[in-house]
């Protein structure tokens, strides 16, 4: 069992402080994942925080089966939280695709603008296509890994990727 | 290391991946998460013993709410129940 697995066991047995170790070890990558899908750090922090709360409840409730590592499990939770947030955003769109205008995010202005560029480039894609594309082309996951996260077949993932790329290509031709 | 991409879309994604590689949470994020987690009641604590007829209407309402939530929710809840798959991500 890895260190995060040991921490998860402690949390399950009532040591809530052990959850801090899990957060410290995973939050950087999870917030980056969320920011890449959602386009800004503030929204990413929201979904990651909610993901941690759900994970904590699941650990305490004994619902985590341990088939995958804690890190992989958290990654999947946050990816799906972000996809849900994207869906909600697309049902109630904001004029700026919810990209924050200020510089309140952590990190450099360059990172802020890169996240905004990524978000605006994919703003017209359906949530599933956008998430699949980020997971594949930005996060570097395989289609099998994306299929496991999105709970669909690899074929469905490939189809989403093809459609998303076609839409981006079409968009670049128009502009 | 530089890559040659035939597809400009791949090239742009590669560029954006590099430029967003160091994105991280704002200061104090970990503390905020732990405060939020600490506010969660532990399962099994805070339960008050009530007679069944006190609980029954609320239980029925809760059951209906759960049914609705299950039908309306997305994959997230299934993620929580099980890690279910042997596809392991590199971390």
**Residue A67: predicted pLDDT:** 86
The residue behind tokens 């904590």 is A56
Closest CA to A112 of B19, B13, B14: B19
What's the residue count for chain B? Answer: 91
Q: Alpha-carbon torsion B43, B45, B46, B48, what sign?
A: positive
Residue ranges, chain A, pLDDT below 70: 93-107
- Look up residue A140 and give its DSSP letter: -
ipTM of the modeled complex:
0.87
Element (H, E) at B30: helix B29-38
Residue B56, pLDDT > 70, answer: no
Cβ-defined contact of A66 to B83 (cutoff 8 Å) = yes
Rounded to whole angstroms, the Cα distance separating A9 from A7 reads: 5
Cβ-defined contact of A66 to B84 (cutoff 8 Å) = no
B-proximal residues of A, 48-107, CB under 8 Å: 48-49, 52-58, 60-61, 63-69, 71-73, 75-77, 80-81, 83-84, 87, 104-107
Distant-in-sequence, close-in-space partners of A82: CB < 8 Å, separation ≥ 6: A33, A34, A37, A38, A44, A47, A131
**Residue B55: predicted pLDDT:** 57
pLDDT digit string (tens) for A18-66? Answer: 999 999 999 999 999 999 999 999 999 999 999 999 999 999 999 998 8
* Cα distances (Å, whole numbers) of residue A101 to A40, A41, A83, A95, B88: 10, 12, 22, 12, 36
Cβ-defined contact of B83 to A111 (cutoff 8 Å) = no
Residues of chain A with Cβ-Cβ distance to B38 below 8 Å are 16
């Amino acid at each position: 069992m890895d260190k995060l697995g040991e921490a998860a066991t402690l949390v399950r047995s009532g040591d809530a402080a052990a959850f801090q170790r899990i957060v410290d070890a995973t939050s950087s990558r999870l917030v980056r994942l969320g920011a890449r899908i959602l386009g800004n750090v503030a929204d990413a922090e929201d979904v990651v925080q909610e993901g941690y709360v759900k994970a904590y409840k699941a650990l305490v409730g004994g619902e985590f089966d341990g088939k995958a590592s804690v890190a992989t499990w958290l990654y999947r939770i946050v990816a799906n939280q972000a996809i849900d947030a994207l869906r909600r955003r697309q049902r109630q769109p904001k004029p700026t695709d919810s990209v924050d205008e200020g510089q309140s995010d952590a990190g450099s202005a360059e990172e802020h603008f890169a996240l905004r560029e990524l978000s605006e480039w994919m703003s017209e894609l359906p949530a599933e296509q956008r998430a699949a594309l980020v997971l594949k082309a930005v996060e570097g996951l395989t289609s099998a890994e994306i299929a496991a996260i999105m709970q669909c077949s690899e074929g469905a993932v490939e189809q989403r990727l093809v459609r998303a790329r076609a839409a981006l290509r079409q968009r670049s031709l128009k502009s | 290391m530089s890559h040659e991409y035939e597809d400009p879309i791949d090239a742009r994604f590669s560029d954006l991946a590099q430029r967003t590689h160091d994105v991280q949470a704002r200061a104090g994020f970990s503390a905020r998460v732990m405060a939020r987690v600490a506010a969660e009641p532990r399962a099994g604590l805070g339960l008050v013993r009530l007679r069944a007829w006190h609980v029954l209407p609320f239980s029925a309402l809760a059951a209906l709410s759960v049914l609705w939530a299950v039908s309306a929710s997305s994959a997230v809840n299934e993620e929580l129940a099980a890690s279910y798959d042997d596809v392991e991500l590199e971390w």
